[in-house]
Every structure is written in C-alpha cells, then in structure tokens.
Copies of this chain bind each other. A is one copy, B any other.
Amino acid sequence: MSDIPSSVVLREVGPRDGLQNELPVPAARKAELIAALGTTGLSRIEAVAFVHPRAIPQMADAAEVWAAVAPAPGVGYSALVPNLNGARRALAAGFTDLEVVVSASETHNLRNVNRTPEQSLDGIAEVIDFVHGSGATCQVIVATAFGCPYEGEVPAERVAAFALRAVADGADSVCFGDTTGMGSPPRVRRLTGLFRDQAPDTRLALHLHDTRGTGLANLVAGLELGVAEFDASVGGLGGCPYAPGATGNIASEEAVYLLQELSVHTGVDLEALLEVAALAQEIVGRELPSRLLKAGPRTRLSV
C-alpha cells in the first residue's frame, strides 16, 4: 500500500457519459452543471461529445452547451468524438483535449458503430494524426475492457493489444472503460499489469462503473498498481444502458471520499462536490445512485 500514488487526477464525466444516459436536459442546465463542477477543485471535466444527433440525441447541443460555459481557470475540459467529423467540430469549438473510443468486443463495436474494432482503430489512427496536426491531444478509450454485455468475457490480452495498437498510432494516453460494470479487482490488476508491462511510460486511466457494487474496490486495485487517473461521474449520474435502473459510473464524490481516506490528494473540495451532486440530482429529476449523497460525509454528525 505504501506505493500508491500520492495524488490522482479525477476526470469528471457526468456532463458527458452521465447525461448521455439520462433523459434529455436543456443546454442551459448542462452548462450550469459544467460551470458548477469547475468550482469544486476538479482538474479535468469531460464536458460534451460531438456525436451524431441521431446516435445520441442527448449530446446534439454540444456546441451550444460549450459556448455557454465560461471555462474555470486551471480546469482542463475535454470532448469525446466518434470520428474525424466529430474531431473537426470539437476543435472548431475550441477543445484541445479529445477522446475517441473503440470497443474491444467485436459484437459491441459492430452494434455501436457498425465497424469491426480493427476498422475503428484504422479510423482512430487518422483522427489522432488530424488532432495532433492541430496541436491537440487524443486519448483512446478501449471500451468493454473488462467484459461485454453481448459476448461476456473479453480476453485481457485482446484489450491490451488494442490499447497497444492505439499507442503505436500515437495515442497520448489510454483509458480502459468498464462500459457495463463487469470489472473486478483481479480483472483490473490483470489488464493493468499486462498493459503496463508493455507500455510502462504511457499515461493510463481507468473508467470504472459501479454496476455490481465493486466500483471503488476496482479503483483501489488500480491505484495499488500505480494508476493515477480515474473517471467518475458526479452523483453517479448516468446509468447502464444494458440494465434498466442499474448504476453506471462510480460517483465522483465517493471516489473523492475514498481517496481522502487513503490520503491521496485530488484537489477536490468534497462538500462543494456534494452540493453539485445535489444540483445534478435536481437537474435530472431522479434520485441518483450515489450513497454518499444520501448519507453525507463521515464528518457530518448527528445531534
């Protein structure tokens, strides 16, 4: 335990991965949420996705949302893009950090974008070149990294191979996405170890879900292997598109709370983040899954 990172970067993905799995929210309220998150000490926020409005109607207003946000100083904002066209839109909107996705599961990738993962990786190589040509950075997220809702097991070797291909093609960093919450500590250790052995110098992030209750145990497993970048969603905003009512992303405030307990610096003000979680809950109009949001921090005592 002594060699866990002394500080980690949490990337808040509620406005993107969270809201794209909620009922549509007006652009002004999205901008309000992004602005509020910028005041909590979070250093990175995935703000929007430039995807086709027919594919994900919840993100159709990405440019409008982003135009309404006054970026907070010291916060890095990023956008997810599916292809070259999305990358062009994101760069035109002013983003300089982009993310692209490929699913390690062939079935999942085919169903999502009607391409094989290899075809997606070919496209991603072009996107990386294009993004770099504009002086921006590009992270490659490998989805279904710990299991696929259609195929079940996704071999860690296959996931690592796709990630290494992306690194060879110039990816600035890699993120393993537990798309439907099928990860567990041994699976996190296995894949992280495999990848790290072959790409020890590449920035690695974990995008964990808490669909089966192991989200924070998975985070600890990654942390113990030196991973220092994690995605999380305020309030646990979002969900799992494959199981109605199920939980999606780990809740940002629960991650911050755990990291505080582990004496790992995040820079985030937990009380401020809890206020934004309450705002997120009000914006989507449903009870969010965050347990900490209901219970309050351990320092909030009864009288």
Contacts and interface: CB of A to CB of B under 8 A. Distances in A.
A257 B186 CA distance: 12
A295 interface: yes
Interface stretch (A20-28, A128-136, A168-176, A243-251): A243-251
Interface in A255-303: 257-258, 261-263, 289-292, 294-299, 301-303
A181 interface: yes
Interface stretch (A52-60, A88-96, A146-154): A146-154
B150 A254 contact: no
Interface stretch (A32-40, A64-72, A115-123, A209-217): A209-217
Contacts of A210: 213, 291
Contacts of A242: 302
A180 B301 CA distance: 11
Interface residues of A, number: 51
Nearest to A189: B1
Interface in A138-190: 147, 149-152, 180-182, 184-187, 189
A45 interface: no
**How many copies of this chain does one complex carry?**
2
Given A184-B262, A220-B217, A301-B150, A212 B243 contact: no
Given A213-B215, A214-B254, A262 B295 contact: no
A212 B257 contact: yes
Given A181-B295, A247-B295, A296-B243, A150 B302 contact: yes
Interface in A216-245: 216-217, 219-220, 240, 242-243, 245
A68 B303 CA distance: 40
Which 10 A-B residue pairs are closest in the complex by CB-CB distance? A184-B261, A213-B254, A246-B295, A149-B302, A217-B217, A182-B298, A246-B294, A243-B295, A216-B217, A211-B295
10 contacts: A150-B303, A181-B295, A186-B263, A210-B213, A212-B297, A214-B254, A214-B258, A220-B220, A240-B295, A246-B294
Given A214-B216, A214-B258, 11 more contacts: A149-B301, A152-B298, A152-B301, A212-B257, A212-B292, A212-B298, A213-B254, A214-B254, A217-B217, A217-B219, A247-B291
